[in-house]
Chains A and B, each alone.
Chain A
């Protein structure tokens, strides 16, 4: 396939072009389009049931839209399965935590390295030489780049199912980052966190977006308007499966239709500012 190898800062990385997704007679997405620029944080907002998560699932490949196309690096990826899309550098976190609850934190993050591990099954069965070296190499990456960044050193050997909610969210971000993604889909990463944890999480998102080492483009679904307006470069607003506005945070905030559908009058959205 002819994927464009080098996409420069500010050029289009992902384009969602006029997608339709129906479940029976319920239309979850009707003609939604958006364009995500490389290096940006692109927020998708809207009231509950607006189709935000459906859109994320379409980008990620869990759902296949009935019409329209999803273009990643200049190539249509509609037909690809989620695991193929992961190899292209699309990673995600989930709204409801979807960690591997029986495994340790370290193993969860190691699993994120899956697509980067090269050794085959025979080599793994013997676990000498190549596989052992590779495991140590990736362990170094995980410890130095991810565990250090997310400040989860103290829980690395704990079973994930036993951890408090805030830490689980953080481990999920770590697992998504272990893929070394180019496009990171964050589906409500702040839901259910307290103020301190929200601030930490926002800091991590800014870090992975802005640091040279990562430079990850983020698609960000969130209800916390304070954080959304502060972090994002572009905002797309959905309502009942239709796109009602798109633009910079300032444009969206003043758009009368958005205010009517979602933000409400006055500045209720600024509660956390």
Chain B
């Protein structure tokens, strides 16, 4: 996306200033307000609302990887939930089954380490299913990534992994097992703190990658892979790197989400969840980090609003409550159609336009 205008009277004196994230005092002020909102206001809300924010955070973490693949590298993926499942199951198995030394449990290192392991394993698993991207593009790649979903979740996890230790389908996570340092993660507020740290770390990592060598290589592959290769980019390596980073973030997302659940089962990672994440970035705007944030907020909040709006109507039309799932899914479809027709660049483009307008305000000519 083209760079926005600088506010009137602001000039860059050196390259470091031009490369900085936050370039004006006004933006820095906004960021302070954002930090106050994130760390001081939201945690004190009612735990129901904190739960909604956690859902938004989980969606952001998932959509970030999808956006990296679809929006920045141009490799369309429809199997992202599989990599989240790999992260979640690795983390859960490590916490429950791994013979940790007493000191690790005592210090609460087991869960943080398992997040890291889950992320790396999910990244490698993602590379495995990204390998066909060396040969195929477009529709064919969609099919191979869908294979990731069916092979991983529907076959390997449902048939084998979920049965480890004689469990039936769901892994229950007894209270107290999810522990980071001295804190046991047992309330939405604590989950929120974990979430906000992970989301900020992941967004920071992706944003930094995108403004340096690997990110430019990814965008070059998206826009024109032949020209990219003649300029010295090893296309296969960078495609697989993109799959690795996307899988890594998906692994973090999955491993984080078990802290919010009493039990995990393969049903938490259905194929429709992969599709949902693609919808999120379409609404937010592909190829934009803000897009994943806005898209996630939009989708989660619209679904919540739908629930609040429909419940009172249930007395009159009981069918609505019974068929709520269908209402939800048709709203999702309708939202995507509406965005593709009326705002194909997504919410983030609108945001960019508004910001740009006020940067030049009141002399916008």
Query: Would A83 and B2 be within 8 Å (CB), given that A98-B224, A101-B223 are in contact?
Result: no
**Contact, CB under 8 Å: A100 / B230:** no
B216: interface (CB < 8 Å): yes
B303: interface (CB < 8 Å): no
Q: Which of B93-101, B124-132, B206-214 contacts A (4 or more CB under 8 A)?
A: B206-214
**Contact, CB under 8 Å: A127 / B232:** no
**Contact, CB under 8 Å: B216 / A102:** no
Query: Would A91 and B209 be within 8 Å (CB), given that A98-B226, A110-B216, A111-B216 are in contact?
Result: no
Interface residues in A29-84 by Cβ distance below 8 A to B read 60-62, 81-83
A99 and B16 alpha carbons, distance in the complex (Å): 26
A158 and B229 alpha carbons, distance in the complex (Å): 23
A114 and B234 alpha carbons, distance in the complex (Å): 10
A267 and B169 alpha carbons, distance in the complex (Å): 85
A83 and B209 alpha carbons, distance in the complex (Å): 21
A121: interface (CB < 8 Å): yes
Interface residues in A104-127 by Cβ distance below 8 A to B read 104, 107, 110-112, 114-115, 117, 119, 121, 124-127
**Contact, CB under 8 Å: A86 / B230:** yes
**Contact, CB under 8 Å: A107 / B219:** yes
Contacts of A117 in B (CB 8 A): 212-213
- Among residues of A, the one whose C-beta sits closest to the C-beta of B221 is A100
A140: interface (CB < 8 Å): yes
Query: Would A127 and B222 be within 8 Å (CB), given that A121-B214, A139-B15 are in contact?
Result: no
A176 and B348 alpha carbons, distance in the complex (Å): 32
A246 and B217 alpha carbons, distance in the complex (Å): 39
A132: interface (CB < 8 Å): yes
Of A81, A124, A175, which contacts B212 at CB under 8 A? Answer: A124
Of A103, A124, A176, which contacts B208 at CB under 8 A? Answer: A124
Which interface residue of B216, B222, B227 has the most chain A CB atoms within 10 A?
A: B227
- Among residues of B, the one whose C-beta sits closest to the C-beta of A133 is B16
Query: Would A125 and B208 be within 8 Å (CB), given that A60-B230, A86-B230, A136-B15 are in contact?
Result: yes
Contacts of B233 in A (CB 8 A): 83, 111, 114
**Binary flags per residue of B16-57, CB closer than 8 Å to A gives 1, else 0:** 101100000000000000000000000000000000000000
Contacts of A126 in B (CB 8 A): 208
**Contact, CB under 8 Å: A115 / B212:** no
**Binary flags per residue of A141-158, CB closer than 8 Å to B gives 1, else 0:** 001000000000000011
Query: Would A83 and B217 be within 8 Å (CB), given that A98-B224, A104-B3, A158-B2 are in contact?
Result: no
Contacts of A124 in B (CB 8 A): 208-209, 212-215
- Among residues of B, the one whose C-beta sits closest to the C-beta of A142 is B15
**Contact, CB under 8 Å: A99 / B231:** no
Query: Would A127 and B230 be within 8 Å (CB), given that A99-B224, A101-B223, A139-B19 are in contact?
Result: no
**Contact, CB under 8 Å: A114 / B217:** yes
A92: interface (CB < 8 Å): yes
Query: Would A100 and B19 be within 8 Å (CB), given that A83-B235, A159-B1 are in contact?
Result: no
Closest CB of chain A to B210's CB: distance in Å? 9
Of B2, B213, B230, which contacts A104 at CB under 8 A? Answer: B2
Of A91, A103, A157, A158, which contacts B219 at CB under 8 A? Answer: A103
**Contact, CB under 8 Å: A100 / B227:** yes
Which interface residue of B2, B208, B226, B231 has the most chain A CB atoms within 10 A?
A: B231
Closest CB of chain B to A67's CB: distance in Å? 23
Contacts of A91 in B (CB 8 A): 230-231
A147 and B226 alpha carbons, distance in the complex (Å): 24
A86 and B228 alpha carbons, distance in the complex (Å): 10
Contacts of B234 in A (CB 8 A): 83
**Contact, CB under 8 Å: A99 / B227:** yes
**Contact, CB under 8 Å: A127 / B241:** no
B346: interface (CB < 8 Å): no
A158 and B230 alpha carbons, distance in the complex (Å): 23
A200 and B249 alpha carbons, distance in the complex (Å): 48
B340: interface (CB < 8 Å): no
A179: interface (CB < 8 Å): yes
**Contact, CB under 8 Å: A115 / B232:** yes
B205: interface (CB < 8 Å): yes
Closest CB of chain B to A249's CB: distance in Å? 28
Of A101, A114, A125, A131, which contacts B216 at CB under 8 A? Answer: A114
**Contact, CB under 8 Å: A111 / B217:** yes
**Contact, CB under 8 Å: B223 / A102:** yes
Contacts of B19 in A (CB 8 A): 132, 135-136, 139
Contacts of B223 in A (CB 8 A): 99-103
**Contact, CB under 8 Å: A100 / B224:** yes
- Among residues of B, the one whose C-beta sits closest to the C-beta of A94 is B227
A87: interface (CB < 8 Å): yes
A143 and B1 alpha carbons, distance in the complex (Å): 20
- Among residues of B, the one whose C-beta sits closest to the C-beta of A112 is B231
Interface residues in B60-119 by Cβ distance below 8 A to A read none
| A-B pairs, 3 with minimum CB distance | A86-B232, A100-B223, A127-B208
Interface residues, chain A, CB within 8 Å of chain B?
A: 60-62, 81-83, 86-87, 91-92, 94, 98-104, 107, 110-112, 114-115, 117, 119, 121, 124-127, 131-132, 135-136, 139-140, 143, 157-159, 162, 175-176, 179
A-B contact pairs, 23 of them (CB 8 A): A62-B229, A86-B231, A91-B230, A99-B224, A100-B219, A102-B287, A104-B2, A107-B216, A111-B216, A112-B231, A114-B213, A114-B217, A114-B232, A115-B231, A119-B212, A121-B241, A124-B208, A124-B212, A124-B213, A124-B215, A125-B209, A131-B213, A139-B18
With contacts A99-B227, A100-B219, A115-B231 known, what are 18 further pairs, Cβ within 8 A? Answer: A81-B229, A87-B232, A98-B224, A100-B224, A102-B287, A103-B216, A103-B219, A111-B233, A114-B213, A115-B232, A124-B212, A127-B212, A131-B208, A132-B16, A136-B19, A140-B15, A159-B1, A179-B231
